[in-house]
Structure 1
């Protein structure tokens, strides 16, 4: 069967986290850069569909194509390593230390950011003919997104910051579920179907994904969005990263590890009641016909 049971894919989660901790700097950066670039393209694709069709659900429905591609190609997002690498430390894998985990997170962050920025610049060039004309409708929408999801939060003060943080938590609850879902199947179709569902949910609900935002907000700045780099960092990227970390670890990584990799002791079963002895059968009197036959 192509489906793996929860204890089986929980073991794969731990193994994956360990392998990422010990991956070379070169490979970590390459894989993270490509992941950020592909996810940025997927975000641009989804925004274009939404603008041209007027149907946000259609954009959200097709956005997961980028997520599925990057994970099938073996690339890494910060949101995924947030969830997987600490499990190898919890499992006491040799050489997996908090310092090694932080090294991995830092490299993946840099790679994701580099890939997302690269695509942001490319899309800004495309949407403005090399910055020679005003951005088209898609470009204007990218600018509006950046403004609404930075200054828009800042307008609400502490309540806005809390909302931003919780959206980050909910986002990586779903995104990390998608990462784990890819481990539930050994077939490409099974992996894609399992990944598609939680990614569709997070994108349509407007949750905050730190890597998607690495594309949306820099591109918004280049396309005329009325917000600053500091607005982006303080009122989106930094709280989103913290929320993504909390959401992935709390609701996916630690939860699955605790209940499937380190399952609690089963409760004692009640003792079976002893079987009652069967009553002796009473002798059956022969019928009159049988008595006559015997006689």
Structure 2
């Protein structure tokens, strides 16, 4: 009688009877090396824990990497992504103005506005006001050149402007049947807001500087959308962190150059007493300057400087 037969009669397990027999080290794979591949054994537990929150220094590195990607986009893609961006801001703002025209306070209605920003962010579109913070960080980190920064800003702004004017015309045309019927309450409210946005002209050079200040206050907040989106690894976390500064800006009524590329043309189509000269000289140009300063100085320079040198 063989040893194997003796063992079986005595009730002792053999390698043939128990494919998961352990080796002296307690490895359950020793008896059947194909068991793991066949999926018959549970995977070994992992001791690696991934934190959802990203430290500021890592956020800066991720933003610098994004800047490098933006610098490589062909002009055609900057134009397309910029063109597609502004209408989503227009959608969000239009919802707010529809709510305000129905009697809801701006502070409450403005909390809805970030829906457009979150949408364009997850779609990977290009908004100049975000790039006003992202590209300087790339410049300081050495991932982009000054020429690449200027190129990105210019073509993104052009794409944003084309998209804004197109969406303004499409919205006005669709709601008024090409001017056959009067503007609805939402369009009337937008026209009043457009007139208010060029009222800086009443105060001369001080008014022009005030428009710059309103742009600084705006994009100090808005450009945080691009920055704070890097502080979470979860989709929900990113959406919430972007929502906070964007909703705050709109509720406070600060000046955003890309939003105005849609809002003021919509108001002009809807009968606002605003000329192209007033639009550009008394709003679009000073607000753009303010948006650049707010993002580049406070977020793209000071915030990045302190965390890059002292992580």
Provide the TM-score with structure 1 as the length reference.
Answer: 0.86
C-alpha distance in 1 between matches for 2:153 and 2:204 = 29
Aligned-CA RMSD value? 1.3
Matched, 1:76 2:119: no
- Alpha-carbon deviation of 1:157? 1.2
Match of 2:93 among 43, 51, 57: 43
Checking the alignment, whether the CA contact within 8 Å between 2:108 and 2:251 is kept in structure 1 is: no
Q: Which 4+ stretches in 1 moved above 2 angstroms?
A: none
Matched, 1:5 2:55: yes
Checking the alignment, whether the CA contact within 8 Å between 1:127 and 1:136 is kept in structure 2 is: yes
Matched, 1:114 2:169: no
- Alpha-carbon deviation of 1:154? 0.6
Checking the alignment, whether the CA contact within 8 Å between 1:127 and 1:138 is kept in structure 2 is: no
- Alpha-carbon deviation of 1:88? 1.6
- Alpha-carbon deviation of 1:39? 0.9
Match of 1:136 among 184, 188, 202: 184
Query: In the alignment, which residue of structure 2 is the partner of 1:290?
Result: none
Matched, 1:124 2:172: yes
SS in 1 for 2:231: coil
SS in 2 for 1:232: helix
Query: In the alignment, which residue of structure 2 is the partner of 1:101?
Result: 149
Query: In the alignment, which residue of structure 2 is the partner of 1:194?
Result: 241
C-alpha distance in 2 between matches for 1:70 and 1:89 = 24
- Alpha-carbon deviation of 1:262? 2.5
Matched residue count: 261
SS in 2 for 1:220: helix
> Structure 1 stretches of 5 or more lacking a match?
265-295
C-alpha distance in 2 between matches for 1:28 and 1:261 = 28
> Structure 2 stretches of 5 or more lacking a match?
1-50
C-alpha distance in 2 between matches for 1:19 and 1:205 = 33
Matched, 1:170 2:217: yes
C-alpha distance in 2 between matches for 1:36 and 1:237 = 15
C-alpha distance in 2 between matches for 1:13 and 1:61 = 26
C-alpha distance in 2 between matches for 1:97 and 1:54 = 46
Stretch deviating more after TM superposition (25-34 or 104-113): 25-34
C-alpha distance in 1 between matches for 2:308 and 2:64 = 9
